[in-house]
Amino acid sequence: MSAIEIRNLRKAFGPVRAVDGVSFTVEPGTITGYLGPNGAGKTTTLRSLLGLCTADSGTALVNGRRYVELPHPLSEVGAVLEATNFHPGRTALNHLRVLCAAARLPRERATEALDQVGLADVAGKRVQVFSLGMRQRLALATALIGHPKVLILDEPANGLDPAGIQWLRGFLRYLSHDQGAAVLVSSHVLAEVEQIVDNVVIIAKGRLVRQGSLAELVSNGDAAVRVRTTGVAELVPALERAGATVEQQDGFLRVRGLEAEDIGRIALDAKVVLSEVTPERSDLQQVFLELTGEGQG
Amino acid sequence: MTLIRAELLKLRTTRLWWVMLGVTVAYVLLQLGLTIGFAGQTGQNGRQVFPSRGTVPFQELLWGLGSSGVLFPMILGVVMMTAEYRYQTITTTFLATPRRERVVVAKLGAGVVVGLAFGLIVLALTAVAVVVTVPLSGGELVLSAKVLRIAAGVLLVLILYTLFGVGLGALIKNQLGAIIVAVVWVFIVEALVTAIPALQPVGKWTPAGAGGAVTNSGVDLGLGTAYLLPAWAGALVLLGYAVLFSAVASATTIRRDIT
């Protein structure tokens, strides 16, 4: 059974089809990036999954059940939605204590969860003095309160500084790859999550554009090798004879259709000096923009 | 019960409750002070404003004054619901308790505790006022069935107005809007329909009229008391309002998508 299973989910707000037939699954021990531009329907999908919105049709299940049917939801699912879900006059610790009371968790969990996200020092401070980054950490503590095995995060990197984003990546990796949690994390910036996600689901305008492993998505791009040489005149015809397409750019060549090693061998045969041979990863961000239809603009 | 405890913890971990308690206490003290101060004096119409201090009707009147501060626990009830929407904590609340009607029921349960606590405190104040002023004026303290009925009525009115506030807050999720409605309702609409004789047949069915029935001491303060429902009917009417508002809210506003 998948930790998260979304089948043919549809949800419209008036004439706007926010989510229009989306299906995907998330397995335990993996991190799935749910990507798309702002307004693509990511938040609506996640809120439907969490029972906060009622979908028009389709199913959204966590551990095989609808969220409202989970007997102890906080012990199965943790969610980080927006950074503002706190009463400003309540302290961080009290915020979590209220949650422990409502979810029948031992009250020590409140302190433990604050420790986990590095907020132990400010446990007694009112949330109104918290920075956006501290609120995000508190939101994460809220999600972790019941030791859930499924984590759902909506744009968790918003408001975090680079160090905070780095910390979050490490933390999510630990929770999923070490602790076996299924993590679904949405973002409109691929670069924020591409280092940690195993799988990618891309939506645009409410519709699923592509899904698969990160490796599949990357290989979708046409990889090239960047070559710098002093013997352009000799090397280019030699490469082309070997079947490559060569694009001459300002001071370097972009070679497609050959591996770096082949290029080196050809250069050796042609007695040409190379000063750089770098396989280019396909530009993921470019792939993402093209897939979501924003690349043409 | 767990959820009621969580709701009470929400209240205790923010500051509004003691502000409202302070205002309630101050308001009731003012009412007690005015009543004690003007007791026995003769107004312009030649009638006594309030019965004089040594009498039994005076004691009965004092016992019922605690219900004059109903607006403030009612506002607290409103805020118990609307603060969740104002600060979007409703998202976290519904994630912990996805069956939303349970949240409404828990808030009503917490409202009973809040109203009861406020009621016991104002009754304690009243008891001090009665015990100090009556013997000083040569009167004899009475603890009749009528006094007990009035004191119980004060508790009931404060509890039910708190619930009324929770229900109102659930219907009108906007905090400021709901508080304005509560204030206008208590100070203007109810004041008018219970004061104007032609409107009193309507007024007796309002929460104020029903509350007046529950705490009616029989002392006519110039507006008449004969129009009021019997005490038990007044209590039922108040309970009806709270249940009706909460039920309607559970079926409508509370169900809406949280976006």
Question: What is chain A's mean pLDDT, rounded?
Answer: 89
B35-65 burial, b for 16+ CB within 10 Å, e for fewer? bbeebeeeeeeeebbbbebbbbbbbbbbbbb
Q: CA-nearest residue of chain A to B15?
A: A89
Yes or no, beta carbons of A53 and B257 under 8 Å apart: yes
Distance in angstroms (rounded) separating the CA atoms of residues A21 and A206: 8
Q: Is A51 on the interface with B (CB under 8 A)?
A: yes
Q: Per residue in B129-155, pLDDT tens?
A: 999 998 888 888 888 888 998 899 899
pLDDT 10s digits, A2-44: 999 999 999 999 899 999 999 999 999 999 999 988 889 999 9
User: Considering only alpha carbons, which residue of chain A is nearest residue B88?
Assistant: A85
In the predicted model, is pLDDT for residue B43 greater than 70? yes
Work out the average pLDDT over B178-199: 86
* Selected residue with higher pLDDT from B195 and B95: B95
pLDDT of the residue at A297:
38
Q: Considering only alpha carbons, which residue of chain A is nearest residue B92? A: A85
Percent share of chain B, pLDDT over 90: 41
Q: A182 has which bridge partners? A: A150
Note whether B141 and B130 are within 8 A (CB). Answer: yes
Please state at what angle helix A92-102 crosses helix A108-116, rounded to 10 degrees. 130
ipTM: 0.85
In sequence order, which residues have a C-beta less than 8 Å from that of residue B62 and are 6 or more positions away? B32, B35, B36, B126, B129, B130, B133
Q: Least CB-CB distance to B6: which of A43, A90, A101? A: A101
Is the CB of B89 less than 8 angstroms away from the CB of A82? no
Q: Is A88 on the interface with B (CB under 8 A)?
A: yes
pTM of the predicted model, to two decimals? 0.84
Query: For the segment A88-103, what is each residue's pLDDT rounded down to a tens digit?
Result: 999 999 999 999 999 9
- The pair of three-digit structure tokens given for residue A231, joined into one six-digit string: 């013997």
Q: Do A98 and B6 count as a contact with CB atoms less than 8 A apart?
A: yes
Q: Is A168 on the interface with B (CB under 8 A)?
A: no
